[in-house]
Each structure stands twice: as structure tokens, then as C-alpha cells.
Structure 1
Amino acid sequence: MFRSRPGRGRAVTAALLAAASLMLTLSACGADPITPQDARAEAGTDGKAGDAARRVDCTKVKCIALTFDAGPGKDTPHLLDVLKEKRVPATFFLLGSKHVDRYPEVVKRIADEGHEVANHTWSHRILTDLDESEVRGELSRAQDAIEKITGRKPTLMRPPQGRTDGTVSDVSRELGLAQVLWSITAKDYSTTDSALIRRRVLENAHRDGIILLHDIYAGTVPAVPSIIDELKRRGFTFVTVPELLAPGKAEPGEVYRPEKD
């Protein structure tokens, strides 16, 4: 007979409450998340908005997007070596304080090697806890720091913990930022076990999915090569988030999140 471990029920309840909180937050902002399929369909067969990003046709190819949050960090150069060797593009949601400002040469390399450079705020404050001016400061300060290094302001952002609301959406729209959530997470912030990180990603991988990882945690970068190899073996093509949406284009202020199979 199966017996629950002490605390297991509390952990499950906490996870469910966190998920419910996120859904309530999304509902409060009045925005149903847009799926990659919807973004592509809304563009239509003659859609031109995202054509510049259309390296592959994700209506015909089994696409998946690999994304990394809260870097760059000391392991990011090695991660970039892996991505270059395996010819995999990724989307990096960069954190300003102690990351972008500490590793400007890595930020430039990310951009120069063709990855999508995106915004993860300046100091990882929960945006739904802030007033409008504070939200603007968190996003615009990171925008300016990234632009100074790469010559281009990001068009995508990911709110810390995926928490957004009407104010965050309004400020994002003002700053030209679309909000990108995820559908696959290894919860690599809670473990250094690379095998576990790999298993969690592979168990949840699906077509048109967006994988959330962090290149700042010890177990993550070592797990990436085998994740890539296995997903390629399963027939997945890796794309950036803009490529996943093409010929649609991420619209400022909107929230994008894939549906799981």
C-alpha cells in the first residue's frame, strides 16, 4: 500500500495553489495567453509580420523552443559552446543586476551568435507586487542595459515567476515587449541533479513547447547536451521564440504560452 511521505500533501497543495495563483493573475490581467498555434494562425498564410524569423515552418516541423532565464552567469559561455556545437538556437531572458552588468561580453556573444536576447527585469522583483512606475523601472532599466551592449532593445520579456497583471501588460505594451511564459519546466532552481533535470524536461516535451531552464544553476548546463540530443532523436527542431510564432509576431503587451498536449 502506498503511503504519502510526511509533507508530501503540503508540497502538492502548495504547487496547486501556486498554479491557481498564476491562473488568477493571468485572468486578472484580462488576457488569455496566446498559443504559438494561434499566433501562426492569426498571421494567416500571407502573414508578413514575422517572416524575418521564419527559418523553419513550425506548422510542418515539430518545433520546440529552448529558453534560459536569469543569466548570464559563469556557466553561460560553456552553454554557448554547447549550443554552437549542436547548432541549436535559444532564447535568453536576461537579468540586469549582477548579470547583464557583470557579464557584458557574454551578453554580446549571445546576440552575436544568433540567439534571441530578451528581458527578465533588472532585479527579479515580482512585478505584480509593484506599482506602475516600479514595473516600468524594472523593465526599462534592463532594456537600456541590453541595448547598450547589443545595439538592440529586446522585444520579448518574461515576468519573474510568470506573474503578470493588467499593469504589467500595459507597461510591457508601452515598452514594446511581449510577455513569454512556458509549458515545460525542470524546476532546476530546486535541484543540482542533472539527470533529474533531463528527465523532467524529456517527460514533458511536446510540439510547440517552450522549455524553461536557468543557466545560473549548477545542474542545468551539464544536462543540456543530452536534452538536445534526445529531443533531436525524437524529431524535434529547436527554434527561438520568434521562430516558434512565425509568420506571426509577438505583439507588445500580449501573453504567450503554449498549451501542453
Structure 2
Amino acid sequence: MITLVRRAAAVCVLATALSACAASQPARQAPRPAPSASSAPASPAATLAPGPSGLTPVFRHGPRTGDRTVALTFDADMTADQGPRAAAGEHFDHPRLIGTLRALKVPSTVFMTGRWAEEYPDQARSLGRDPLFEVANHSYSHYAFTGDCYGLPTVPAGRMRADVERAYTAFREAGVPDAKPYFRFPGGCYDRAALRALTPAGVTAVQWDVVGGDAFATDADAVARQVLDGVRPGSVVVLHCTRSAAPATERAVRTIVPELRRQGYRFVKVSELIAAATGRN
């Protein structure tokens, strides 16, 4: 399990680890509070109960039942210091992938950084208002919430909650009406201190059990095989929707989706898997 998590984390953060990240976040006006039990979005989403000692709960996959459901999740990664690269023409978005998901009618969950929403507000708003998708939180900065996380700068413990809340603020300002109370740690790196720091935010941390391996991959067939070999009922698959860092993902999806449907799988959002796990279906 440790090997799987580290492998997944390395894939998730590879693009960021190779970039020259700033050592700390720039100062900015304090954000408005994130969705929580007392300030939930208009459409309530299923969440897990707090973990031991009231820590932020962690969700990895749905029930392993005969109901063959699978959630494709896509990380919209952009770090706090990558604005100059976007201005120079690097594409951190992937409209063709989103178009393919729409054409194939695949419900999906997009874990978006706040910085990505600031860079692509029209796309963020379009995703947030399309019932086929749900937008969840991948931090504002895409900096690590632990030390020693694949070269990423580290969010100070006292700023972790603020980084998550700042992302929700960016979503609202982009016009996303109902960002879900789900959070994916950058790189998948977390520890007990990070879970404790995010408890007041009222989020459920969402990990995965299937690594797509699409970061910097150019062989779409290899990505598709890795997903197809790993999926089980209730699986959460981690992929990316960033053109520059995951150029083969859209082609892989065009193989993954029809094959899993042929095997009897039904695509759902993370919220549906969590609802099934909590008996809210």
C-alpha cells in the first residue's frame, strides 16, 4: 500500500516537482470560509464522518459490491507560481479531454486548484455548471501538506486550512456555484497533523485506489491498460486534465470508457461513491 501511494503521489506531482516553485505562498487577503457543516453548498453532498479524534476522514474507494461503479477523477493542476509559464503559452487546461468526456457522457469529478480556476475562470465555471461534472478542491497552491513530498514546497501547518479555503474562494469568484466538500492532497501526501489542520474546513479527503500513470505519458495505450488492469467495483481512478503534463489522457479515455462499459461498469462521480459507502443511496 505504501508503494502504491508513493507511486501515485510521484505521478501526481511530477510536473510540479520539476518546476521552480516558490518556497512560500504570496500574501493575500484572507479568504471567505470554505463549505463546512455550517456553511454547506446549496446541494448537500455526502461526506464521511470524522475519523478518530475528530480528524478529517479519508476516502479511497467505494463499496466492493456487485454494483460495478467506478469514478474517474481528473486533477486540474496548476501551482501558485506557474502564472508566468501560462502567460508564455503553456497550457494547464485540456478542453479536448473535457469535450470527450461530454461526448461520451461520462460523469466525472474534477479536483481543481484555486490557481487553475483563476487562470481559466470560464472553463472552471463551465465545469461547475455542467451536471455531468462536480468540482472538488485540490488546494489553492498545489504545495505539499507534509514535508518530503517529492520536492514540493510545503504549506506551513498554520496556513493549511487557509490554502483550502482560498481555493473555494477562487471557485466562487470564477462562478462555480457548488464546489463539493472534497479535498485531494497535492501529491497524495498527508499525515495526522494535516488531517487535524483541515478538520475545521469540514472536508472529506479523497485519495484513490487506481493510478492512471498519465503524467507526461505519451503512450495512451499504456495508460489505458494500467487503468483497466486496476479497476475494481467502487474504484477511484486518478488522472489529469492538463495538456502540457498529460498529453495522452484524452486518447486513453477513449479506450478506457467503452471497455469498462463493455465489462458492465457504470461511471459515477465521487459523491455517489461516498453516498453508497455511507448508505445514503
TM-score normalized by structure 2? 0.66
Unaligned runs of 5+ in 2: 11-51, 79-90, 148-154
- Matched with 1:117 is 135
Q: Percent identity?
A: 28
Whether 1:150 aligns to 2:167 is: no
**Structure 1: distance between partners of 2:227 and 2:158:** 36
| 1:167 positional shift | 2.7
**Structure 1: distance between partners of 2:77 and 2:4:** 28
**How many residues are aligned here?**
212
- Matched with 1:207 is 233
Structure 1's consecutive aligned runs of 4 or more residues displaced over 6 angstroms after TM superposition are: 29-32
- Matched with 1:220 is 249
Three-state SS of the structure 1 residue aligned to 2:142 is coil
Three-state SS of the structure 1 residue aligned to 2:146 is helix
Show CA shifts across 1:78-123 (max 9, x none): 22221222111100000122x2111111111111112110011112
**Structure 2: distance between partners of 1:247 and 1:199:** 27
Matched ranges for 1:231-250 at <5 A: 231-248=260-277
Matched ranges for 1:176-215 at <5 A: 176-215=202-241
Instruction: Give the superposed CA RMSD.
Output: 3.1
**Structure 1: distance between partners of 2:236 and 2:208:** 5
Which residue identity does 2:211 align to in structure 1? Answer: T
| 1:155 positional shift | 0.4
Native 8 Å contact 1:95 1:120 kept in 2: yes
TM-score normalized by structure 1? 0.71
**Structure 1: distance between partners of 2:208 and 2:247:** 21
Show CA shifts across 1:209-236 (max 9, x none): 0000011111112211111111111110
Unaligned runs of 5+ in 1: 1-13, 39-57, 251-261
Native 8 Å contact 1:184 1:201 kept in 2: yes
Whether 1:102 aligns to 2:119 is: yes
Native 8 Å contact 1:186 1:201 kept in 2: yes
Which structure shows the higher helix fraction?
A: 1
